[in-house]
Amino acid sequence: MVEHLAIIMDGNGRWAEARGLSRSDGHRAGARQIGVAARAAMKAGIKYLTLYAFSTENWKRPQDEVGVLMGLIQEFASSELPAMMRDGVRLRTIGRTGDLPLAARTALRYAIEKTAANDKLTINIALSYGGRAEIVDAVNKIIAEKRTDPVSEQDFISYLYAPDIPDPDLLIRTSGELRLSNFLLWELSYSEIYVTDTYWPDFNEETLQKALDSYSGRKRRFGGLNKK
């Protein structure tokens, strides 16, 4: 059973290019699929859905493209709020979200506060996120506390962005790329990985079910301990 699903949402640009559309059109189509993925995840009994929406490296993209992405983040937080309240979806974020424009931060903060008591599904959106940045930020928190005692793995986890959320059972990467792209480097240590050639704007319940079927046939060993 997958309790926590993580997805690297990739392929918006190539999806748009194949249709003679702009990259912005691809990002808009991709943003619409978040709701599709959330509903499919809830139907499958998944409790946590972490989505890689904007990385620390994505700030290097052209300014107009970054502007579109920031606008879509703001729009998502506002337009999807009624549906999240209706369906019992809790919204959270991870990453250096202080780097986001004020309007996006404000919309996200409001949606996060309004949905805080919802418990059907937690959508955890990674924004201005990098796995290395998360580890560095955790180390700096430890340094700031001036700890002198040894730090165990469990101690270290408590300094990560979302220490109360279990590690992902399954990572799905869309668009066929075979890399982690600096995503959840600590948390994905023993996660199963499923790669699909489907571009993110085409992701749907059928795509998710294929990934879940693949996962159900695997044996998770965690370095030696068998677990189905």
pLDDT at 228: 45
Catalytic residue among 10, 25, 169, 202: 10
User: For residue 227, is it within any domain?
Assistant: no
pLDDT at 226: 54
Closest by CA position to 112, among listed 163, 76, 166, 165: 76
Rg (CA), the chain: 18
Can you give the pTM of this predicted structure? Answer: 0.95
User: For residue 224, is it within any domain?
Assistant: no
Residue 142 tokens, joined: 């430890």
What span, in angstroms and rounded, lies between the C-alpha atoms of 23 and 67? 12
User: For residue 44, is it within any domain?
Assistant: yes
Active site residue 99: no
Among 1-10, 110-119, 213-222, the least confident range = 213-222
User: For residue 56, is it within any domain?
Assistant: yes
User: For residue 223, is it within any domain?
Assistant: no
Res. 227: pLDDT tops 70: no
Residue 75 tokens, joined: 């729009």
Q: Could you report the per-residue pLDDT of 54-88, keeping only the tens digit for each?
A: 999 999 999 999 999 999 999 999 999 999 999 99
pLDDT at 224: 63
Which residue range forms the structural domain that includes residue 178?
4-216
User: For residue 52, is it within any domain?
Assistant: yes
**What value, to the nearest 5°, has the Cα angle with vertex 188 and ends 185 and 192?**
145
What span, in angstroms and rounded, lies between the C-alpha atoms of 161 and 148? 22
Stretch 209-221: mean pLDDT? 92
Active site residue 226: no
Find the CATH number of the domain harbouring 42.
3.40.1180.10
The number of distinct structural domains making up the chain is 1
Catalytic residue among 58, 118, 182, 204: 58
User: For residue 226, is it within any domain?
Assistant: no
Q: Could you report the per-residue pLDDT of 17-57, keeping only the tens digit for each?
A: 999 999 999 999 999 999 999 999 999 999 999 999 999 99
Within 8 A by CB and 6+ apart from 62, the residues are none
Q: What is the mean pLDDT of the chain?
A: 96
User: For residue 164, is it within any domain?
Assistant: yes
Closest by CA position to 182, among listed 141, 110, 133: 133
Res. 150: pLDDT tops 60: yes
Greater pLDDT, 137 or 225: 137
Res. 183: pLDDT tops 70: yes
pLDDT at 219: 83
